[in-house]
A and B are shown apart, each in its own frame.
Chain A
Amino acid sequence: MALGRYRSLLTAVSVAMLWWAATCSPSAAGSSDPTNILMKDFMFAPTSLTVKAGSTVTWVNMDDEPHTAVSDTGLFRSAAMDTNESFSFKFDKPGTYHFTCSIHPRMVGTIVVQ
């Protein structure tokens, strides 16, 4: 009996999560800028972004801790961004660009320019 109730609760949670995923994820909501990368909870979000050549990508820091966006090849390097500060870079040539936060090097991300 108790197990059955637990199972139905699980089902309800699963349904709620599916609903959330369908309606609230960035792709479905369409509210997030496709050329923005957020720095939040010590992660780049999204960690991988695909844009067309000529696009300008903007990094925005949402954490209380400063972050940077530094290209592995030295192509671009932001200053330290405090909370709500941002940095933009225009990608002219197609290719795959890896970047990291120089303050928290475990934060890594990739931009694919088509």
Chain B
Amino acid sequence: MSDEQLLQSRRNALKCMAYGGAGTLFVLAGGVFSPVDLALAADDKLGTARLGKPLFVQISDTHIGFNKEANPDVNGTLTQTIDLVNGMAERPALIIHTGDITHLSKPAEFDLAQQLLSRLRTTELHTVPGEHDTTDATVTEYFNRFGKASNNKGYYSFDHAGVHFVALINVLQFKPGGLGTLGTEQLAWVAADLKGHSDSTPIVVFAHMPLWTIYEPWGWGTGDADQLMEQLRRFGSVTVLNGHIHQIVQKVEGNVTFHTARSTAYPQPTAGMGSGPAPLKVAADQLAKMLGITSVSVVKHPRSLALSDTTIA
């Protein structure tokens, strides 16, 4: 497919997604994951699923309860995303939500989010909380609804199709002025959890805040993530996912691929632009254009990663 065709499809997809939030489909081939823009993957003609097995979709930062100018209809944009997933020819088995399910941790917001997410026609929904979900001191609202998998600890693991998934929480234990924190207890648990897995097991690790430092002044990172990376180094295929920054940034370091996700709710500025990571307000017609710029690199993801597939295999 030519770049022009891809861009054309991209434009069509954006027409369907007024806010362009959507999610990312992760396709597994040769033990390595390739990310595909969900709006594009949902378009049959692109044949993105041919890259491998569509295993899971990552959605993030749904911010149910947000009602400001940057997107007055976050319920609508989440619903559009869910419709894309439900409409896929080969539906992924898992949905991973990387946090900030709600905007203000309010019970009514959680209830509405659960109600909206229950429309997903997938067997499993796995979540981690964002700092917007945990503003109550006891994290009761989040754990009451999503705490079962982790026994109200926030971190847990599971296996699917030969892939080991590790869900982590890095939005508690904030140190003033600091980055996210995993903490010694959770890091010890990860070490024990990974112990029984061979180096060839594909690993997917997901948390809300970036597990690599993207921009420290805005807290876009996790202070003790290097201790986690040390434990992941021996594995041949590691995919590290997060939300939080409402835009796509990725990097590859050895066998570890890092991806951040867009929000289904509203965009945020690129690192360091403005006083802080506030909801980015842009005119409706400019929004599609702006998201288009982000998505050109997304369109190129499958190609560049297809290349790394070849190298690793």
Contacts and interface: CB of A to CB of B under 8 A. Distances in A.
Interface of A: 41-43, 63-66, 68, 72, 77, 79-80, 82-83, 98, 100, 102-106, 108
B199 to A, nearest CB: 36
Interface in B161-216: 174-179
Interface of B: 68-70, 103-106, 131-132, 134-137, 174-179, 217-219, 275-279, 281
Nearest to A74: B137
A106 B217 contact: yes
A72 B176 contact: yes
Contact of A66 (B69, B70, B132, B277): B132
B132 A104 contact: no
A105 B70 CA distance: 23
A65 B279 contact: yes
Given A64-B70, A64-B279, A77-B137, A103 B177 contact: no
Name the prevailing secondary structure of the B interface residues. loop
Contacts of B279: 64-65
Contact of B135 (A42, A65, A79, A106): A79
A37 to B, nearest CB: 15
Given A79-B104, A105-B219, A65 B174 contact: no
B112 to A, nearest CB: 16
B103 A66 contact: yes
Given A42-B276, A63-B278, A79-B135, 8 more contacts: A63-B276, A64-B281, A65-B279, A100-B176, A105-B177, A105-B178, A105-B219, A106-B219
Contact of B104 (A63, A80, A106): A80
B278 A98 contact: no
A100 B135 contact: no
A72 to B, nearest CB: 6
B176 A105 contact: yes
Contacts of A43: 275
B275 A42 contact: yes
Contacts of A104: 218-219, 276-277
A42 B218 CA distance: 10
Interface centre among B174, B175, B218, B279 (most CB of A within 10 A): B174
